[in-house]
C-alpha cells in the first residue's frame, strides 16, 4: 500500500541498485526472486528490500516472492526510467566525450540530444556521429527546440557555476555535475554532484580501517 510517508533518499538509491541484478536475472530467465535472494545480490538486509519496495506498493506474493519481470517494470516506473530522457552535455573534454559515448546511458534511455562547448575549435564538429557541437550562445534556443530536460556539466570547475546558471535560465531543472565544485542552484531544481576524488578519499580512509 503506497503511503504518503516521507521516503528516505537512501531508499531511492537502493531501488536503483535493485534494478541491476533484476535485469541480469530477467535475461537469464529467472522469473522469481525472494527478498532474501535480491538482498544477497545487493548486499543489503532482506527486510530492507521489503520495506523499500513497500513504500511504493505491494509487488510481491506472500509465500512466493517477487516476479522478476514485473518487479523490474515497477521499479522503472518508480524511477521514471520507463521513458526516454533528453540530455545535453556541456564541455567536451575527455570526460564529456567519454560520457556521450557511454552506451550504458543510451541503453537506459538517457539520450544526449545536444552538445555544447565554449572552445571554437570544437564547435561545428561532432562529439559522436550525429551529435553536433554547438556554441554556448545557442543553448537557450536548443534547449527549447530539442526538449532537453537534464544538463550534464563536464567543464573545468571554474566554468561550472556559470554553466549551471545558463542551464537554469534556459529552463532546465535537473543537473548532473561532474566538476568538483558544489553548484548553487535555485529552488525547484535538482543537482547531483559526482566527484571521483571524494570516492578515492573514501577508499583510502576505509582501507586504513580494515583488518
Partner DNA sequence: GCCTGTGAATCCATTCACAGCT
Partner DNA sequence: AGCTGTGAATGGATTCACAGGC
Give the binding site for its own copies (CB under 8 A).
9, 12-13, 16-17, 20-21, 41-43, 78-81, 85, 94-95, 97-99, 101-102, 104-105, 108, 110, 149-150, 173-176, 180-182, 187-190, 192, 194-208, 210-211
Strand runs labelled E in the chain: 32-33, 60-61, 65-67, 85-90, 110-116, 126-128, 131-134, 150-153, 174-177, 190-193
- The residue ranges that bind DNA (CB under 7 A) are 1, 6, 8-11, 33-36, 44-48, 50-51, 53-54, 58-66
| Of residues 95 and 191, the one with the C-beta less far from DNA | 191
Smallest gap from Cβ 47 to DNA, in A, equals: 4
Which strand ranges, in their side-by-side order, compose the sheet holding 85-90? 126-128, 131-134, 110-116, 85-90, 150-153, 174-177, 190-193
Smallest gap from Cβ 98 to its own copies, in A, equals: 4
DSSP for residue 136 = G
Cα 172 from Cα 159, distance rounded (Å): 17
102 touches which of DNA, its own copies, none (CB within 5 to 8 A by kind)? its own copies
182 touches which of DNA, its own copies, none (CB within 5 to 8 A by kind)? its own copies
Question: Helix 46-54 to helix 35-42 angle, to the nearest 10 degrees?
Answer: 110
Smallest gap from Cβ 186 to DNA, in A, equals: 20
Smallest gap from Cβ 58 to its own copies, in A, equals: 20
| Of residues 66 and 112, the one with the C-beta less far from DNA | 66
95 touches which of its own copies, DNA, none (CB within 5 to 8 A by kind)? its own copies
Give the pairing type, strands 110-116 and 131-134: parallel
Do 149 and 112 meet the contact criterion of CB atoms below 8 Å apart? no
Smallest gap from Cβ 79 to its own copies, in A, equals: 4
The DSSP bridge partners found for residue 175 are 151, 191
| Of residues 169 and 201, the one with the C-beta less far from DNA | 201
Amino acid at each position: 500500500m503506497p503511503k504518503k510517508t516521507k521516503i528516505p533518499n537512501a531508499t531511492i538509491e537502493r531501488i536503483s541498485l535493485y534494478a541491476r541484478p533484476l535485469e541480469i536475472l530477467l535475461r537469464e530467465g529467472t522469473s522469481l526472486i525472494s527478498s532474501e535472494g535480491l538482498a544477497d545480490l545487493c548486499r543489503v538486509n532482506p527486510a530492507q528490500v521489503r520495506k523499500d519496495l513497500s513504500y511504493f506498493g505491494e509487488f510481491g506474493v506472500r509465500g512466493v516472492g517477487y516476479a522478476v519481470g514485473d518487479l523490474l517494470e515497477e521499479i522503472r516506473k518508480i524511477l521514471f526510467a520507463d521513458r526516454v530522457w533528453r540530455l545535453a552535455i556541456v564541455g567536451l573534454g575527455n570526460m564529456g566525450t567519454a560520457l556521450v559515448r557511454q552506451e550504458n546511458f543510451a541503453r537506459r534511455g538517457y539520450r544526449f540530444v545536444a552538445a555544447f562547448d565554449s572552445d571554437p575549435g570544437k564547435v561545428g564538429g561532432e562529439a559522436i556521429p550525429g551529435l553536433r557541437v554547438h556554441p554556448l550562445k545557442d543553448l537557450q534556443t536548443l534547449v527549447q527546440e530539442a526538449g532537453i530536460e537534464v544538463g550534464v556539466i563536464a567543464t573545468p570547475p571554474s566554468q561550472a557555476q556559470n554553466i549551471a546558471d545558463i542551464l537554469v535560465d534556459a529552463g532546465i531543472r535537473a543537473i548532473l555535475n561532474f566538476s568538483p565544485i558544489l553548484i548553487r542552484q535555485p529552488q525547484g531544481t535538482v543537482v547531483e554532484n559526482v566527484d571521483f576524488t571524494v570516492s578515492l578519499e573514501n577508499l583510502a580512509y576505509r582501507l586504513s580501517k580494515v583488518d
